Structure 1
Amino acid sequence: MFLVVGETARSQNYALNGYSRGTNDFTKKYNELISFHNVQSCGTSIAISVPCMFSDMKRKEFNSRKAVNSENVLDILYRTGVNLLWIENDGGCKGVCKRIPTINIEPSNSDNTLCKKNSCYDEVMLKNIDEYIINNSEDKLIVFHLIGSHGPTYYLRYPESHKYFKPTCDRSDIENCTHEQLINTYDNTIRYTDYIISKLIDKLIEYKDEYDAVLLYVSDHGESLGENGLYLHGTPYNVAPAEQTHVPLITWMSPGFVSSKKIDLNCLSEHALNRTVSHDNIFSSLLGYGM
């Protein structure tokens, strides 16, 4: 299983969820892919959302101190024999991965052309995936923690070859860019993440005859892009706008996985379109995959 934890992606800019621009040009080709349209984050910042989504506590009862001293769903899976690996490209897992094998992408120590001084493009995490898969025969879960759409320097999140929407806002004081420039730059980050997800799905397709494979992608929180004068995120949850709490969640399942778990894709697609889900569902969903 590939679990992809996104950064600062908001559902409103997802073509799969009705957005008018081509931000999902890479994943729209997969017939088995399902996008959940109504997904609520646990928080409006990574410090809350990431620990919360892996915790058995619901959003309304989540306590950071308690979470630090409790097992999360990754700990439980690891204890039951699932081979886990966390690949980190967003500056830290907020304690979630501290008890499982972890690879930290260090841009300052890398000569990879996908890395700059302070960060790496998420594409760098695609390196050595075959090695991670082949070297472990048992059930496995690889978590990819993306830098995604981390702002305010959105323009640093994708390479020049993925500057699709133009003109862009190539600066950190985003309030001084035009709305068109800001949206173009942010949409480029969403589209680049979509490219990364498509590459991961393609890799799972390569192994579909050997493994019952599944990919799950979910963003930690959304982002304000100037609506009502708000930028970035971190607004207190009870007054936060939907742009900061409405996040994308997509899943792709191999035919073998669908068959072995007896999943009704038509039913799941209907639920994804019409029902509201949240980060609260991640804990039980990961356990329910029965790895």
Structure 2
Amino acid sequence: MILSKKLSDSFLDTNSFAIYGLGITGSSVLKFFKKKRVKNFTAWDDNKYIRKFNKLNKKNTQKDFLKYLDKADYIILSPGISIENSTFKKKLLENKKKIITDLDIFYILNSQTKSIMVTGSNGKSTTCKIIEHVLKNTNYDVNLVGNIGKPILNIKIKKNSLVVIEASSFQLNYSQFIKPNYAIILNITKNHLDRHITMKNYKKAKFKIFFNQKKEDLAFLESKYLKNFYKKNNFKGKLKNVSIKKYELIKKKFKIFI
């Protein structure tokens, strides 16, 4: 799903938001909204101490937030929240089409910013650090964000900034508007099935990295199995091969620098 430029310009002013989960990611969204003076939003965390830490209005109750989930245009869900185990499971499932993430907000508001997104069951962090190292050494203004530790809404974007994003399946599963110029799936092995339940669901979450790409965008895959799956789903990005042997060689050399 891709927003028009006109809609993206007024996104924060013309919509209402419910932020659910105030861990590192959710707190960064809350801070970003306050900085941008967003008027129509509310926030909730199931932990009363976290609510107190984030200085939420004490008058807002769980029941109030439950009602607001129906009223809000978008529900911003923290990647740490499992819908299946949530207090608001029924209401979240009823409003599933409204659920987005901090990554979505970034892409909606920064549609002209170039980005590289990396996901996979193993090797995401190392790969992101390699990419960051190479780009910085060629004088790019690089921001490394996402699952690697720094929330994407915490960064300051310059005109020629390039963003490298480590994305987990939890983030991707809830995202709708992500559109990386360069999208990479390193591998997919059995992981997080306590959350995704089946490998089919897990793979579907990972492949959301390609959903909004256009023909000028690039998709990188190494596994023949994953490349076949990509082709069967008719994604629009240009598929590029990745040599795992070359990657392992680069990774060994890179360890000298970290």
Could you state the TM-score of these two structures normalised by the residue count of structure 2? 0.31
Q: Which has the higher contact order (CA 8 A, sep 6+)?
A: 1
Could you state the TM-score of these two structures normalised by the residue count of structure 1? 0.29
